[in-house]
Amino acid sequence: MIEATLLQQTCFAVEQLYGGVINPDSIGLERTNKEITGDFTIVVFPMLKISRKSPESTATDIGDYLQRNMPEIAEFNVIKGFLNLILSDHYWINFLYENVDLPDFGFHGDRHERPVVLEYSSPNTNKPLHLGHIRNNLLGFSLAEILKANGHKVVRVNLVNDRGIHICKSMLAYMKWGNGETPGSTGMKGDHFIGKYYVLFNTYYKKEVNDLMGTGLSAEEAERQAPLMAEAQDILRKWEAKDSEITVLWKRMNGWAYHGFDLTYKRMGVDFDHIYYESETYLLGKELVMEGLNNGALIRKTDGSIWADLSDEGLDEKLLLRADGTSVYMTQDIGTAQLRYDDYNPSSMIYVVGNEQNYHFDVLKRVLARLGKDYSSHIHHLSYGMVELPQGKMKSREGTVVDADDLMDEMLRTAEATTRELGKANELSEDEAIKLFNTIGLGALKYFILKVDPKKNMLFDPLESIDFNGNTGPFIQYTYARIQSLLARADEAGWRWEESGASVQLPLLPLEKETIKRLYQFREIVFQAGKELSPAIVANYVFDLAKVFNQFYQELPVLKEEVPEKVILRIGISRFTGTIIQRSMKLLGIEAPERM
């Protein structure tokens, strides 16, 4: 990349001009602000102690040296202590020709490091996936693709929360009011079927609590004494004791949920390399907790419960095992972390989990450190914000969540209505049209979710996400399809990019140069997105690229250009833009359709 050459030559300039040595890492090199003429800007203030000149004189000296010694530099200008370098048109044209057909442009080779274990999804088997899970899954899948593009080996894992009091609530409700019905007999998807009983439990439970509060009990006392909660806790104890009847029902109901999840994952376009189950990890967690107790890292209270006392680290005490010996979420997360370390010896373990669990993961790392686990320092919580809808927050227990399947259905309907209205499916068969509606609907959903910085809360509006003219997935998809149509027409007209060679010597027009410069940035974007664990960086880049290309396409003729060399150049720009749009969208898990 030209940046490395610029830094090296600047160091040579300082040595030749002033007899001093400067570390290239101390040189500020950045892209020139849009308001100023230039491609790259060097900040010369760190060099003033060596040059013993004013910022303007130092920048001018170095600019003269670089222009004399680097054919890539056509011009420069100086604004105070900022040296703005303008690269030659020949450099940008060579870049285009050398990289347009590289299959791995923008991607980095194998780092030959230990793998990264990346957890996402983590559903509970008492309810279907909802809008929050969609953001989780889309973030996780996209991050895996981005990390792989940066040369990392990635193991994508899912931890299914298949045990605990919440699971027992659905089981109890089914035992009381199920009457033997099944997903098959009701025609319901398995995870939806289970979720219905979770909501049913909470409906009756809330009534019991209200009745008890009517007798004078506080809300806390009523919640604790409600008969349904006591029964659910009894089922949890029986499950941990491996009661045969409870175990059979648990396996049956979880099987229904798994089948439903698999259908949703397939439709969403996400998958995993390994699935862990809390029911298989909590026992190891309990063993590690007991080891910690025996070696003095943890404490046992008078009621028999086991805790981690983190008060000396500015936190409070954290329960790890209840008095009756049953485990909590922290217990199974301890066991899961150890299993993953044993299975993969990873360089890092990334957890894609909502920001309501920030404290949980802070505690997890500290508890693992107390248990002597060196890998605790390699745990990273990718904390993402909540997704809300125009009508407000979602609540699972009240059945007011936005179901993932229902949302994807809505996106399909909206995509179909919008696409048909704009006439973009008129020339397609019905099967092709339905496939296109799915591609547009899912693309709109994924892009709208991923274009927002993961750390921020977001408001999701399905209708806004399918606007073909805004910062949306369909706008980018349509740009890609437009490019493919252009390239097909170019091919029919006999233009052969592959046979042309780097023959263009004409000066670049501003829009030609600007589009090539955006393509050049792709490598940096991929690296930055991996470093910051943010698909939003890729999403916003590809939108900007599509926007610049559309301006290029509208203002500069391609096939109608009279100068043959310019036709070839503009076909090359279009071809490379299509490749980078497709590559960027793939990093986001979005399909780029050939026709729209």
418 is a domain residue: no
Residues 196 and 242 in one domain: yes
pLDDT in tens, 498-532: 655 555 577 999 999 999 999 999 999 999 999 99
Residues 387 and 494 in one domain: no
Q: Indicate the residue among 46, 69, 87 that finishes a domain.
A: 87
pLDDT in tens, 564-589: 889 999 999 999 999 999 999 999 99
* CATH number of domain containing 483: 1.10.730.10
- 497 has pLDDT over 90: no
Q: What pLDDT is recorded for position 398? A: 44
pLDDT in tens, 79-105: 999 999 999 999 999 999 999 999 999
399 pLDDT tier (thresholds 50, 70, 90): very low
15 is a domain residue: yes
Separation between Cα atoms, residue 288 and residue 43, nearest integer Å: 54
* CATH number of domain containing 384: 3.40.50.620
193 is a domain residue: yes
Per DSSP, helices labelled H in 374-472 are: 404-421, 430-450, 462-465
CB proximity list for 183: less than 8 A, separation 6 or greater: 189, 190, 192, 193, 256, 259, 260
456 is a domain residue: yes
Q: What pLDDT is recorded for position 350? A: 98
* CATH number of domain containing 35: 3.30.1360.70
* Residue pair 140/352 in contact by the 8 Å Cβ criterion: yes
**What is the total count of domains within the chain?**
3
Residues 467 and 527 in one domain: yes
Residues 391 and 449 in one domain: no
12 pLDDT tier (thresholds 50, 70, 90): very high
Listed residue (503, 488, 588, 505) closest to 543, CA to CA:
588
53 is a domain residue: yes
pLDDT in tens, 308-331: 999 999 999 999 999 988 888 899
Report the length, in residues, of the chain: 596
471 is a domain residue: yes
Residues 124 and 83 in one domain: no
Per DSSP, helices labelled H in 493-532 are: 510-520, 522-532
- 20 has pLDDT over 80: yes
Q: Indicate the residue among 398, 414, 430 that finishes a domain.
A: 398
Separation between Cα atoms, residue 179 and residue 376, nearest integer Å: 47
540 is a domain residue: yes
- 285 has pLDDT over 70: yes
Residues 193 and 331 in one domain: yes
Domain assignment of residue 79, given as a range? 2-87
Residues 191 and 293 in one domain: yes
Residues 506 and 570 in one domain: yes
Residues 164 and 229 in one domain: yes
- 9 has pLDDT over 90: yes
How far apart, in Å, are the Cα atoms of 213 and each of 221, 230, 473? 8, 17, 51
Average pLDDT over residues 239-247: 94
- 155 has pLDDT over 60: yes
Residues 140 and 256 in one domain: yes
- Percent of the chain residues past pLDDT 90, beyond the cut: 85
Residues 156 and 25 in one domain: no
Residues 502 and 372 in one domain: no
499 burial (CB, 10 Å; 0-12 / 13-18 / 19+) is: exposed
Listed residue (27, 43, 25, 23) closest to 85, CA to CA:
43
Q: Indicate the residue among 341, 365, 398 that finishes a domain.
A: 398
- 396 has pLDDT over 90: no
413 is a domain residue: no
